[in-house]
């Protein structure tokens, strides 16, 4: 990996306009075989539509110029190409479905996109309902990236103080947390029903 890091990738064209920790994440995603994600405040970036992504960014960074927002949005859309090849599982806290970033129409389009993406054989989307045990829900969003052997599983957490990457054995705590989430989340088909119902509520 130390040698590979010097190989240029598509993300190099964004290096001046995108935070370095997001560049690092894209680099890891491009090499991962499996990605597991838990999303608490918003729908995970790899599942976002362009309009939803822009609405989230404008809410988080209201003073950023339009040109910068557009570059961040385009970078996020480009990252989504990894869904064409790796095994991806997302557990979305029910709270994300009650925050209609961009308004009702943007949110409806976003939920329709979730249904479309979940049709892929390598993508699984599950919902963690409010009815679950509150202690089953971690404090924040995190990701688990399974790298090709012999490299370790990497856990990634984004905080207000910056991004944290944790390798094994410390990443084992995140794997335990994700297993706990899987036990409490709706299964894939139940989650699709939930998403469709939420779409109808937004009409």
Asked whether the beta carbons of 26 and 77 are under 8 A apart, the reply is no
- Residue 114 pLDDT > 60: yes
- Residue 189 pLDDT > 90: yes
Concatenating the DSSP letter of every residue in 11-36 gives GGGGTTTS-HHHHHHHHHHHH-SEEE
Looking up tokens 């991806």 gives: 88
User: Using the 8-state DSSP alphabet, how is residue 143 labeled?
Assistant: E
For residue 33, give Cα distances in angstroms to 28, 48, 122, 134, 146: 10, 21, 11, 31, 6
Confidence of residue 178 (pLDDT cuts 50, 70, 90): very high
Tell me the longest C-alpha to C-alpha distance in the chain. 52
**Strand 34-39 versus strand 87-93 pairing type:** parallel
| pTM for this predicted structure | 0.88
Number of residues that this document lists for the chain = 203
* Distance of alpha carbon 59 from alpha carbon 53, whole angstroms: 10
Asked whether the beta carbons of 88 and 35 are under 8 A apart, the reply is yes
User: Using the 8-state DSSP alphabet, how is residue 63 labeled?
Assistant: T
Residues 6+ apart with CB under 8 A from 147: 28, 31, 32, 33, 153, 154
The per-residue pLDDT for 7 is 55
**How many Cα atoms sit within 13 Å of 75 on the Cβ side?**
25
* Distance of alpha carbon 108 from alpha carbon 47, whole angstroms: 14
* Distance of alpha carbon 25 from alpha carbon 82, whole angstroms: 12
Q: What is the mean pLDDT of the chain?
A: 88
Asked whether the beta carbons of 53 and 77 are under 8 A apart, the reply is yes
Region of residue 181 (left: phi > 0; alpha: psi -120 to 50; beta: else): alpha
The per-residue pLDDT for 22 is 74
pLDDT in tens, 1-58: 555 555 566 556 666 666 766 777 888 888 899 999 999 889 999 999 999 999 999 9
The pLDDT of 119-140, averaged and rounded, is 85
pLDDT in tens, 49-76: 999 999 999 998 889 999 999 998 998 9
């Amino acid at each position: 990996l130390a040698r590979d890091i010097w190989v240029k990738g598509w993300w190099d064209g964004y290096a001046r306009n995108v935070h370095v920790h997001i560049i690092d994440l894209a680099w890891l995603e491009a090499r991962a075989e499996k990605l597991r994600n838990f999303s608490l405040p918003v729908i995970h970036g790899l599942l976002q539509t362009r309009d939803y992504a822009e609405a989230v960014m404008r809410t988080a960074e209201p003073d950023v110029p339009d040109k910068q927002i557009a570059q961040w949005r385009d970078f996020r859309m480009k990252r989504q190409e990894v869904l064409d090849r790796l095994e991806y599982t997302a557990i979305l806290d029910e709270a994300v479905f009650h925050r209609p970033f961009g308004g009702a129409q943007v949110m409806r389009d976003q939920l329709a996109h979730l249904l479309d993406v979940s049709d892929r054989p390598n993508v699984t989307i599950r919902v963690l309902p409010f009815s679950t045990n509150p202690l089953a829900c971690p404090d924040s969003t995190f990701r688990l990236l399974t790298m090709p052997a012999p490299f370790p599983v990497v856990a990634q957490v984004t905080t207000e103080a910056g991004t944290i990457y944790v390798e094994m054995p410390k990443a084992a705590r995140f794997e335990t947390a994700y297993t706990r989430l899987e036990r409490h989340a709706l299964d894939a088909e139940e989650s699709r029903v939930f998403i469709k119902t939420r779409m109808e509520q937004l009409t």
